[in-house]
Chain A
Amino acid sequence: DADVTQTPRNRITKTGKRIMLECSQTKGHDRMYWYRQDPGLGLRLIYYSFDVKDINKGEISDGYSVSRQAQAKFSLSLESAIPNQTALYFCATSGRRGNTGELFFGEGSRLTVL
């Protein structure tokens, strides 16, 4: 089983719908992240959390919100999805407090907004 699990893996929805992407991890890491990847581009950070009560905006947080329900769970919500949020979304974790830590990714959630 994957150490970092994302659900759903694929989702097609309509403009204006609320969407939640969920991430859970069994690595025991304290830090969790949500990234977005657009076709032909690198990854951009949406939100990150260093602990259960810690939430930080990344580069492209507008239109998104997150919830860190437990150390092992970090969900990403699109309150009112729009077509330009069509992308591949990745959850990631890292385990080191302080400034270093190897990043591990989930398998990705492909979202299409019509």
Chain B
Amino acid sequence: GIQVEQSPPDLILQEGANSTLRCNFSDSVNNLQWFHQNPWGQLINLFYIPSGTKQNGRLSATTVATERYSLLYISSSQTTDSGVYFCAVKETSGSRLTFGEGTQLTVNP
């Protein structure tokens, strides 16, 4: 099956800093999503982005499907951005999403 690797596994920032999270995948995909799991365990949809670039406030994402990676940008980070960020992909020939192991982000005040 498809392999999904997220980096870095852990990231610690000071409030106000910018960051880039990366998701590499091993096969062609037709579905890619970014999720934020907050400290209470809730999974929040950030982006549905099988290709191209999207922005939502301080967050933006870019997927380059031909090169098999996606990037999540967080600008001017806030303590409420803390949590785990998951990338999930569905290969073109498959039927369900495969999750990466996540990036644990801690934003300190």
Contacts and interface: CB of A to CB of B under 8 A. Distances in A.
Question: Are A and B associated in one complex?
Answer: yes
B96 A100 contact: no
Interface stretch (A21-29, A63-71, A75-83, A102-110): A102-110
Contact of A100 (B42, B86, B90): B90
B90 A99 contact: yes
A104 B40 CA distance: 17
A104 B42 CA distance: 11
Interface residues of A, number: 22
B41 A88 contact: yes
Interface string A34-56: 00000001111100101000001
Contacts of B102: 42
B95 interface: yes
Interface residues of B, number: 22
Interface in B30-56: 30-31, 33, 35, 41-43, 45, 48, 50
Interface string A4-23: 00000000000000000000
Nearest to B98: A45
Contact of A102 (B33, B42, B99): B33
Nearest to A88: B41
A42 B86 contact: yes
Interface of B: 30-31, 33, 35, 41-43, 45, 48, 50, 86, 88, 90, 92, 94-97, 99-102
26 contacts: A42-B86, A42-B100, A42-B101, A42-B102, A43-B86, A43-B88, A43-B99, A48-B96, A50-B95, A56-B95, A99-B30, A99-B31, A99-B90, A99-B95, A100-B30, A100-B31, A100-B50, A101-B31, A102-B33, A102-B45, A102-B48, A103-B33, A103-B45, A103-B88, A108-B42, A110-B41
